[in-house]
């Protein structure tokens, strides 16, 4: 499937940053019009620094943008949306990490996340169309809580079934559905603009 070349696709990784065999990295490699938020050199756990890094990428792009966020990248996106007036055509928010709840060993503790400014998770309606793709067995976010976030964000909820955290540790790798959902966002945005003429 070819993605419409009009919007720039901005990839917003989670706290693990760039992972070569992650579906976000593979998706970016397939697109001619993709930019990825670069890993931080300092303050890697700082929510403010992560939001500023996304803001920096978006400031350099003219024209429409679609965001593709995963895990904590979803939280970076929703925090960014609370203060920015830059228009966004749409966002694919895949398997958000529920940073308000304790996570498995090897991840930051709730106290570390609170101190780094991640909580509370913004619960306002997002100012752009969005799709939340949620897993039924995600160790970083229960389906019920993620579905609740999708509702208050005004997002369309897509039930992915049992896909873990949709990362290489869960067997992904390529995730072809990302292109389908991305194209849905682009097509719906184009249809809305056509309807306003």
pLDDT at 17: 75
Specify the CATH superfamily of domain 8-196: Alpha/Beta hydrolase fold, catalytic domain (3.40.50.1820)
Average pLDDT over residues 44-63: 96
Are 163 and 135 contacting, i.e. CB atoms less than 8 angstroms apart?
yes
The ranges assigned to domains in the chain are 8-196
Q: What's the pLDDT tens digit per position in 69-79?
A: 999 999 999 99
**Tokens, residue 12:** 């917003």
pLDDT at 4: 43
pLDDT at 196: 53
Confidence of residue 16 (pLDDT cuts 50, 70, 90): confident
pLDDT at 3: 47
CA–CA separation, 77 vs 160, rounded Å? Answer: 21
Residue 146 neighbours by CB under 8 Å, 6+ apart: 95, 96, 98, 132, 134, 138
pLDDT at 193: 53
Conformational region of residue 19, where left means phi above 0, alpha means psi within -120 to 50, and beta covers everything else? beta
CA–CA separation, 15 vs 21, rounded Å? Answer: 15
> What are the residues facing 156 on neighbouring strands?
131
Residue linked to tokens 């966004």: 88
Q: Which comes out higher in pLDDT, residue 4 or 147? A: 147
The whole-chain average pLDDT of the chain stands at 92
Confidence of residue 18 (pLDDT cuts 50, 70, 90): confident
Residue linked to tokens 């249809």: 191
pLDDT at 131: 98
| Best CA proximity match to 127, nearest among 96, 74, 82 | 82
CA–CA separation, 180 vs 186, rounded Å? Answer: 10
DSSP state, residue 63? S
């Amino acid at each position: 499937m070819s993605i419409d070349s009009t919007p720039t696709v901005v990839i917003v990784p989670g706290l693990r940053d760039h992972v070569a065999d992650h579906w976000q990295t593979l998706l970016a490699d397939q697109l001619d019009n993709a930019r990825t938020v670069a890993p931080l050199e300092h303050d890697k756990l700082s929510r403010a620094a992560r939001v500023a890094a996304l803001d920096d990428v978006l400031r350099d792009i003219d024209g429409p943008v679609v965001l593709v966020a995963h895990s904590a990248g979803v939280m970076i996106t929703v925090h960014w949306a609370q203060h920015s007036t830059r228009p966004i055509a749409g966002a694919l928010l895949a398997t958000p990490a529920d940073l308000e709840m304790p996570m498995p060993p090897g991840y930051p503790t709730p106290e570390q996340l609170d101190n780094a400014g991640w909580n509370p998770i913004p619960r306002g309606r997002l100012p752009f169309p969005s799709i939340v793709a949620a897993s039924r067995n995600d160790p970083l976010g229960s389906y019920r809580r993620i579905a609740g976030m999708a509702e208050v964000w005004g997002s369309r909820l897509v039930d992915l079934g049992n896909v873990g955290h949709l990362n290489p540790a869960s067997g992904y790798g390529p995730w072809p559905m990302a292109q389908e959902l991305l194209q849905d966002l682009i097509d719906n945005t184009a249809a809305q603009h056509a309807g306003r003429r």
